[in-house]
Structure 1
């Protein structure tokens, strides 16, 4: 089965982003003795096993069938000799002394979200400055860093920029970015599998925990309890926590008071809706990122009509560009109108 799995690996390495491949696929190892019609793959821990089962196993089955020339089943198991309750970061194969392990969950970070690509103005300059301080001095400057503001103003961009910068500076760092709903899902899964010890070990061992839209914890008692324990463990170990929310901490409905009080231990910063000049700069920056020459009069027109949400500015720009492309017309102010 090793030759079969090697063939699958070659195809998957071509199809998947390097981070996904190294984080989830490369740590899998074929096990012998399962029969000629089943490919058994051993995962280093339950987190990897469950994610591969959810996202990749169907594709692995198709590739294995193509390589073998017959239908094959794929079964995922925990690696032998590994304590199922002790999560570990998967280690990619070592091809040279200069390579470093790819850390579990880092593949969730969007590399396009960086501080350089974040347009700064009065509405967000304090939040950006605080985020840079946290990325450069995790666990020391502000812990936790709590960023709040309306939908589509750049909170997720800043959150992931912190993770990306720390990942570049400290390749060995254990970084976890997740939306609050994913954290809730992890709690539910721990319930189903009776694996709360594993859950705690994993989250309490992180160097940087990035939680997006924590308002989704509202009225979820066990999730808030587990996050309370993780929060205390990470802060006591001088590990960094960064949280985003759509409202000021004390105004979150359905959140336990002990959590709200801890959100105030570090620094709370707001991101406000951008002013006109900043909206223009955002439109021009997005066009530049797509290698499109956009005149300022078009950017001003879009910015004047979209007054609050950055995400809507991007959508309006894409709509104008798409209309120009489909109608085979040059970009102009008349076309934008």
Structure 2
């Protein structure tokens, strides 16, 4: 009875399976197909050149032993590399790959002697010419759960992050999407999850990357005609963290490749963590198929921290820096800087620096000077509270009246204007805006924004309201 390529390969796989980790076997050997057997040469098909290089770099010895057992000392292995030919040399580069070219495939046979050639790995994070196969996590160890203080504004997101870190890929929070305005701690929390996973599961491959860098790597891969290598690199990651995913807006080619990477990771029980400055429902120019996948897991919002949380953040920052500061000064800073954590910590650093450089004692008067300068010189992010105050003052009513359930026309219009400007000047979600302006739902906010747009173009007096309030908020 003549032996077949499949029989030989199946026997090799039995031996390999007993000698490597199950996850490694699933990732690197299950996708391989036996193609043909000629004399002592077994031909196998691998998905890309990246795959072949990885096998040669990491599994050449076990391949040699297993194949020698089956075919003897003269055994040879031939790789048939399935490569994606996205572009011909003369075609101009565009970010979107034409669908006609996307499926064009070619095969390349590589006759490889069974010894380790140490090929250069197609790792987007490796500088060309430097042989380094290790995938660095790109995580910042200074961002930890320990210094990400819990408060009402972040409790859900932080708790979900802890759950994911304890069991990556094994919770219903997959993907975990953390969203919120500037400086509220999205990047910090994303890093903290990654750092905790690396600590608990050192064998897992964790990778943090910004959506902007991911896009640039994808563009480079298309230019160099190794898009498949790019995809396979990301498909071997156990925990993928992508920061500022809203950056993918309008980038059709990058969204397409991320869609396939996301599907592979999710189907194989890998964890995906995303951050964004807005909720999925508010994202523009992101394909619906991607948005629907963002909603598979949990979307957790980071909101502006309340006074107590701001005080805790400052005390923790001072403790870590070994600085002692009176409570009344800490409370003064926390009371006057409300917009985000980054500005809050920046103000306290400025206060410490002024005290140290000028050898001045930290007093309330010094704090007042620093906070006033800091707030004045920092690009202010308009808060929803501030918008409600400006609108209420403009229409000579108090905030409680603005938020009330009354249907009086002038109050309804004031409330709709507050919602309109909250959407225009902040990065809060529609649901968050509605919650803070009279406990309305996101549909009410959406209706308010459309009403303001319509009235601005048909009612001269209403248009003047919009212009006046815009000037007040832009000061």
TM-score of the superposed pair, with normalisation by structure 1: 0.71
Match of 2:272 among 241, 244, 264: 241
Alignment of 1:13-24 (within 5 A): none
Structure 1 moving runs of 4+ over 6 Å: none
Match of 1:128 among 139, 158, 179: 158
- Give the aligned partner of residue 313 of structure 2: 282
The superposition leaves residues 118-155 of structure 1 with CA deviations (integer Å, 9 ceiling, x where unpaired) of 11100001110000000111112111011111111011
SS of the counterpart of 2:123?
helix
Which structure has more RCO (C-alpha within 8 Å, separation ≥ 6)?
1
SS of the counterpart of 2:214?
helix
Deviation at 1:52, TM superposition (A): 2.9
Taking the aligned partners of 1:43 and 1:324, their CA distance within structure 2 comes to 56
- Give the aligned partner of residue 148 of structure 1: 179
Deviation at 1:46, TM superposition (A): 3.2
Match of 1:221 among 240, 249, 252: 252
Does residue 190 (structure 1) correspond to residue 221 (structure 2)? The answer is yes
Alignment of 1:72-151 (within 5 A): 76=129, 89-90=133-134, 104-106=135-137, 108-141=138-171, 142-151=173-182
Contact 2:218 2:254 in 1 (8 A): yes
Contact 1:179 1:212 in 2 (8 A): yes
Aligned positions, number: 251
- Higher alpha-carbon deviation: 234-243 or 305-314: 305-314
Taking the aligned partners of 1:202 and 1:164, their CA distance within structure 2 comes to 21
SS of the counterpart of 2:208?
strand
Deviation at 1:334, TM superposition (A): 2.1
Does residue 175 (structure 1) correspond to residue 206 (structure 2)? The answer is yes
Contact 1:105 1:177 in 2 (8 A): no
- Give the aligned partner of residue 344 of structure 2: 313
- Give the aligned partner of residue 295 of structure 2: 264
Taking the aligned partners of 2:119 and 2:284, their CA distance within structure 1 comes to 40
Contact 2:248 2:255 in 1 (8 A): yes
Which ranges of structure 2 fall in alignment gaps of 5 or more residues? 1-56, 58-117, 369-475
Does residue 334 (structure 1) correspond to residue 365 (structure 2)? The answer is yes
- Give the aligned partner of residue 127 of structure 2: 52
Larger radius of gyration: 2
Taking the aligned partners of 1:105 and 1:319, their CA distance within structure 2 comes to 34
* RMSD across aligned positions (CA): 1.8
Match of 2:322 among 282, 291, 302: 291
SS of the counterpart of 1:164?
helix
Alignment of 1:37-48 (within 5 A): 44-47=120-123
Taking the aligned partners of 1:272 and 1:191, their CA distance within structure 2 comes to 38
The superposition leaves residues 85-114 of structure 1 with CA deviations (integer Å, 9 ceiling, x where unpaired) of xxx842xxxxxxxxxxxxx131x2110111
- Give the aligned partner of residue 211 of structure 1: 242
- Give the aligned partner of residue 391 of structure 2: none
Deviation at 1:51, TM superposition (A): 4.0
- Give the aligned partner of residue 5 of structure 1: none
Deviation at 1:43, TM superposition (A): 7.5
Taking the aligned partners of 1:294 and 1:193, their CA distance within structure 2 comes to 56
Does residue 304 (structure 1) correspond to residue 347 (structure 2)? The answer is no
Does residue 232 (structure 1) correspond to residue 308 (structure 2)? The answer is no
- Higher alpha-carbon deviation: 290-299 or 315-324: 290-299
Taking the aligned partners of 1:179 and 1:306, their CA distance within structure 2 comes to 28
- Give the aligned partner of residue 14 of structure 1: none
Taking the aligned partners of 1:270 and 1:89, their CA distance within structure 2 comes to 36
Contact 1:143 1:240 in 2 (8 A): yes
Deviation at 1:305, TM superposition (A): 1.4
Contact 1:149 1:155 in 2 (8 A): yes
Deviation at 1:214, TM superposition (A): 0.5
Taking the aligned partners of 1:266 and 1:153, their CA distance within structure 2 comes to 21
TM-score of the superposed pair, with normalisation by structure 2: 0.51
Taking the aligned partners of 1:256 and 1:250, their CA distance within structure 2 comes to 12
Taking the aligned partners of 1:43 and 1:215, their CA distance within structure 2 comes to 36
Taking the aligned partners of 2:288 and 2:325, their CA distance within structure 1 comes to 49
Taking the aligned partners of 1:332 and 1:47, their CA distance within structure 2 comes to 53
